[in-house]
A and B are shown apart, each in its own frame.
Chain A
Amino acid sequence: MKITKSRIIGLVALIVVVGVLAGTMIWRQAQPKPVETTQVNGYLGGEKIGLFDDPQFAAATKAAGLDVNYRKAGSLDMMTADMTGMDYLFPSSRAAVEYGKAKGVSADGSDIVFNSPIVLYTHKAVVDGLVSGGLVTKDGETYHMDMAKAVDAMTANKTWADVGYAAGYGQFRIDSTDPVKSNSGNEYAALVATVLGGGNQPATVDTITRDAAKIQAIFAKSGWMETSSEDSFNQFLTLGVGSKPMMVGYESQILDLAVNQPAAYQQIKDDVVIVYPTPTVWSTHTLIPLTDNGRRLLSVLKSQDVQKLAWERHGFRAANFAGTDSISRFGVPSAADQLTAVSELPNNDAMQKLIAVLGGQS
């Protein structure tokens, strides 16, 4: 038989096809059996997106048979959102959980997953001004804002220049997220109310009623408020000092940035600093499971691996209020290991009153 060119091509093609088929079968056999995963969906406070998008987190949840999805929502906003098909709510504080209960959301089986203190973010030029003006004290590389003095200055309509930052535009203010929708703004409002109430104990319905006009005036200074701490922090970084001289956020946000976006962090590390308010409040990130799958997600979040991941790569302190090692691992000089002055949140009635005052319903 004469071997023609086309026969050779045909033979080669056949060998290739057989080879590919065999290879595919071997490859298939070598693969671990795919884990059957179940879709889990819920509402997530924006500051935890970095963790939920982390491939290591996805691997941990996948190993537990979960494929985790989320929709971004403010901690308070999510309590009244459409919960059809949702397996969990993951707000950023007990206060939001209590608010949800009042709105008819069952918190059965909810648990604190991790913590992060409420902090202020600002720029070097601003903080230097505020140190000279006396609102902020510098202790080594860390900064503390005297909240009583800050609230006084805002109540008295002081300008940025009055409090030591001459280049500032307009009145001294601290921008936060919308306190009626999002947790960081809400906890900041609680802090302001507590300071106005005398500062020794958490604000009460009575003190909030008395101080309502002052609280409203302080928040009116900010005008536009984001509904997500994540958007707020990104705006702070993107638009710079002229737009948001100082904002309320979570300590975890800059730690997350330092680990996960080192190039971006390099650009701002000599400029952006953490200022710890004195007192501050803890933000206790609490998961509310709505379904069995939500409960399975909660147990993955509470596992040691995920707790370690949340601290080391995203800056969330474990449920016992501490990290597993020094905060110096993040290379953020203004971050502090220990928080000394921490205020309790007002009780739920007082928080409801505060929301009513700020939502214009009082």
Chain B
Amino acid sequence: MAAIAAGAMALGAAACSFGTDDNTNTANQDASKVQTFQPNGRKATATLNIASGSENREVAAAVQKAADESGVAVTLNYMGSLDVMSALENGGENYDAVWPASSMWISMGDVKHLVKNQTSTSTTPVVFGIAKSKAVELGWADASGKTRAVGTTDIIDAVTAGKLRFSMTSATQSNSGASAYLAFATALAGTNQPLTAANLDDDALRAKLIALLKGVDRSSGSSDWLKDMVVANPDRFDAMVNYESLVIQADKQLTQNGHDPLLAVYPADGIAVSDSPLGYVDRGQKLDAAFADFVKALQSDDAKLEFERAGRRTGLGGTLTYASDAQVQQAFKADWGITTEASALRTIPLPAADVIRTSLDVYQTALRKPSYTIWVVDYSGSMSGDGKNGVVAGLQAALDPAQARQSHIEPSSKDVNVFIPFASQASQPITANGTDTAALLAAASERAAAGGTDIYDGLDRALDNLPADVTAYTTAIVLMTDGQSVTNHQSQFESTYRERGKDLPIFSIMFGEADPAQLDAIASLSNAKVFDGRTGGLASVFRQVKGYN
């Protein structure tokens, strides 16, 4: 039950979610990051600690069923698929199993041969979800929701004409973004062959990809959060690249709220399919029997039915196993553009592993829309010591090109980073253009921590420093604070934001004695998210936040 409570909280609070319910086993867990599923009515025989893609939050019902049936408890640690790959490269860390969105991350990460008994749990294609009215306006759908074949060049044309903007996860942080990007590149290369390193050097292909990625309105490190963001503000976001299963989840929520559904559009010249593999990580911990029991239960008819009700396909060859179930039909609805015909899934041949790595590098450094990030950082007296050290390490992890490269978040030559330290009031901004972030990082390190806390003055200053054309960048403000703020500038900031904040996301990093209520209000105002830096190290949280932009 604990797990369900935490899950419901996570679903309910799109803008911000962290566990505060002390009656649950997930107390002190950020439910958007960690969820534990206990078998109902009996003590667990074992607990499996699983590194999982964030999209699996949506199949909680199936996971709970499998925990009940197998008697095995599981803890899902939600992260991007690339983090799953890194965990394997690091020897599996403390995980008993991995569950990324696609098996390519296991194959690329499992250099130490730790993964065993890898099984696909379900499949779902990566598609465009486009608000019905928008799709009709673009001529891509008729009033019944039936979509026509849309090619990648049609999408570029719509972006170039200023008719389409869409949200998509970062290709270097999340499988849905990476898969979509690889599918776009393969389709645009037009060779009818897997993408090659030579293709990526071709200026004409690069120009097309840059034109396409200009359409990216907001980025994210998590497919699931991207869906939540669109659902929370459908008037602002009318298109996203995401899993078919998350388009289905979004549509359930959107239609319930009286909004236009997103129509699933399957790019006709090639798409990628997520196969959601679950594999045991053998570190000698001897949980393979528990793993086998859990997987067996996850593949039982009951659990598979729950997968399909959540919008995943479980039949072989991308088909549905329970097409006649009423709730499955409520998920795979033709008037949401969903088609279960295998012919709609024209899958691209994936490139070779080294080409995938090169593709991701090129995306991060040359092709993605540049980012404009304003770092509003607390230097109040209480930050002195651990707090400040953590912040400096965090900024280095996110902005020092050599360090950031390890997490595939390094700045490109067109990125802009603005640093605004604040205490009782905001200081002058320091701007770093491109990859030369040394002066900014030196300033962050030299500045002493002293004085009070006024986050609103810091944020107000950030709004004075927006780029002239915010649509030229994926723009975000990142606020880091360790204390409760004075509020004399709060209403001024809020009115400035409504006036010229242009719906930009303000992500907060909570540390020390920060007030969750203040940060939640900022997250809902700007349809963004609060990251909890109180556990697990500030540096990793800064890195994660950068992955959202």
Contacts and interface: CB of A to CB of B under 8 A. Distances in A.
Interface of A: 43, 49, 53, 70-73, 77-78, 81-82, 159, 167, 169-171, 173, 220-227, 231, 234-235, 237-243, 264, 267-268, 271
B317 A221 contact: no
Contact of A231 (B118, B196, B345, B348): B118
B195 A240 contact: no
Nearest to B106: A231
B316 A240 contact: yes
B317 A167 contact: no
A222 B355 CA distance: 12
Contacts of B195: 223
B8 to A, nearest CB: 31
A226 B104 CA distance: 8
B349 A170 contact: yes
Contacts of B345: 240, 242-243
A242 to B, nearest CB: 4
Given A224-B104, A225-B353, A242-B273, 7 more contacts: A43-B113, A72-B113, A82-B112, A231-B103, A242-B342, A242-B347, A267-B321
Given A167-B343, A239-B275, A240-B319, A224 B353 contact: yes
A226 B350 CA distance: 11
Contact of A264 (B107, B194, B316, B350): B316
Contacts of A43: 113
B194 A234 contact: no
A222 B350 CA distance: 8
A237 B351 CA distance: 20
Given A71-B114, A222-B349, A231-B118, A240 B355 contact: no
A15 to B, nearest CB: 28
B120 A71 contact: no
Tier of interface size on chain B: 35 or more
A334 B129 CA distance: 41
- A170, A225, A227 — which one has the most chain B CB atoms within 10 A of its CB? A170
Nearest to A360: B354
A169 B192 contact: yes
A71 B113 contact: yes
Given A171-B192, A239-B123, A240-B345, A72 B116 contact: yes
Given A171-B192, A223-B351, A223-B352, A240 B103 contact: no
B120 A238 contact: yes
Contact of B317 (A159, A226, A240): A240
B144 interface: no
A220 B116 contact: no
A235 B114 CA distance: 19
7 contacts: A72-B113, A220-B193, A224-B350, A238-B318, A240-B316, A267-B316, A267-B321
A70 B280 CA distance: 12
Contact of B116 (A71, A81, A173, A222): A71
A235 B349 CA distance: 13
Contacts of A170: 192-193, 349
Contacts of A237: 316-317
Interface of B: 103-104, 107, 112-120, 123, 192-196, 270, 273, 275, 282, 315-319, 321, 342-343, 345-353, 355-356
A268 B192 contact: no
B346 A223 contact: no
Nearest to A271: B317
Contacts of B112: 82
Contacts of A238: 120, 123, 275, 316-318
Contact of A239 (B343, B347, B353): B347
B316 A241 contact: no
A173 B349 CA distance: 10
Nearest to B192: A170
Question: Which are the 3 A-B pairs with shortest beta-carbon distances?
Answer: A223-B194, A240-B317, A224-B350
Contacts of A234: 118-120
Contacts of B118: 231, 234
B151 to A, nearest CB: 13
A120 to B, nearest CB: 17
A271 B319 CA distance: 13
A118 to B, nearest CB: 21
A234 B295 CA distance: 15
Nearest to B321: A267
A78 B459 CA distance: 55
Contacts of B352: 223-225
Contacts of B346: 169, 242
A341 to B, nearest CB: 29
Contacts of A53: 117
Contacts of A72: 113, 115-116
B116 A159 contact: no
A240 B318 contact: yes
A235 B275 CA distance: 8
B114 A242 contact: no
A285 B107 CA distance: 23
Contacts of B270: 169
A234 B319 CA distance: 15
Interface centre among B104, B195, B342, by most A CB within 10 Å?
B342
Contacts of A235: 103, 120, 275
Contacts of B343: 167, 242
A81 B113 contact: yes
A87 to B, nearest CB: 15
Contacts of A264: 316
Given A224-B353, A238-B275, A240-B318, A73 B347 contact: no
Nearest to A238: B120
A169 B158 CA distance: 25
B107 A226 contact: yes
A224 B317 contact: no
Contacts of A81: 113
A53 B113 CA distance: 17
Nearest to B276: A238
Nearest to B195: A223
B221 to A, nearest CB: 24
A240 B195 CA distance: 21
A267 B194 contact: no
Given A81-B113, A239-B347, A171 B316 contact: no
A222 B194 contact: yes
B360 to A, nearest CB: 14
Contacts of B315: 267
Contacts of B351: 223-224
A236 to B, nearest CB: 9
B247 to A, nearest CB: 19
B279 to A, nearest CB: 9
